[in-house]
Amino acid sequence: MKTNKEAFGDYLLLEKKYSAHTVQAYLNDVVSFESFVSESFEQESIDLVNYSQVRSWIVFLVEQGISNVSINRKMASLKAFYRFLLKSKQIEINPMLKHKALKVPKVVQIPFSEKELKDLLSEIDFPVGFQEVRDKLIVEMFYVTGMRRAELIHLMIKNVDLSSGVIKVLGKRNKERIIPILPMIVNQIRVYIKERDSLGDIEDFDYFFISKKGLKLSESFVYRLINSYFSRVSEKVKKSPHVLRHTFATHLLNNGADLNSVKELLGHSSLASTQVYTHNSLAELKKVYKGAHPRGD
């Protein structure tokens, strides 16, 4: 018979469609809380804890120097765990019912400017060859599709449809979405595929982006690639695939795209997730308004 934690893991993986990595993170948080309750209250089961015990864990984590962001993530894991126990009728009262997330300072994501993208893609010399063609295409794909790093890494060659000018990506919770690609990117993809085919034996053939050895790319490799290239044209502190995703959304909104369209392109389940990208667009709007209005001086 499965334990509550094992059943919870199966629920997240099979019903909620969370990735194996996310499921493990949730379970690690539940196990950490279980250890705390055992040591602090000599209580073996966490099925019937009360909120004061949860509060004690929060105080303990704060005293350990854990950030509010990390604590909120742990609390989200507990909330999901107890919702599952309630749903499966293993408890009658959810101890996390009235929990409120700790306040965290809002971190403003600063996108790359259009000039920085232009400088990178037009002025930096990308030598001819498989790796260089692939690297430039990766930068372009992030910028013209807004896809996540994991989505780019797991992009399948069968899901790149050059005749229709679209790609199909597998997003969070295994949700598929179709993203259009620009004609100029279609041409670059053709060049990349030609270079890719010249590699000969490819072990991870199903994956679109691969290493020179024919293997699927790692998340750390893609992060280092983006960070390295943008370090040449940008002094921003954070230079990552996620900043490129943020840049994609911001530039679309700045140039007149409506929020719902950007939401669909990003693969967000609600507008609330997309609205985080609008603050830069609002800043741009204020700038235009101030410059155009007669009383703007």
Q: Please give the Cα distance from 205 to 137 (Å, whole number).
A: 18
Q: Is the dihedral of CA 206, 210, 211, 212 positive or negative?
A: positive
Q: Which residues contact 259 (CB under 8 A, 6 or more apart)?
A: 253, 271, 274, 275, 278
Strand partners, 178: 168
User: In this structure, what DSSP letter does residue 64 have?
Assistant: T
Q: Please give the Cα distance from 30 to 75 (Å, whole number).
A: 9
Which residue numbers are catalytic? 148, 172, 242, 245, 268, 277
At residue 216, the 3 state secondary structure works out as strand
CB 198 within 8 A of CB 192: no
- 295 class by beta-carbon count within 10 Å (0-12 exposed, 13-18 middle, 19+ buried): exposed
Q: Cα 228 from chain centroid?
A: 20
Q: Please give the Cα distance from 111 to 237 (Å, whole number).
A: 11
CB 26 within 8 A of CB 13: no
CB 214 within 8 A of CB 199: yes
Q: Which of 185, 50, 196, 55 is nearest to 131 (CA)?
A: 196
At residue 160, the 3 state secondary structure works out as strand
At residue 128, the 3 state secondary structure works out as coil
Return the H-helix or E-strand segment holding 169: strand 166-170
Gyration radius (Cα) of the chain, Å: 23
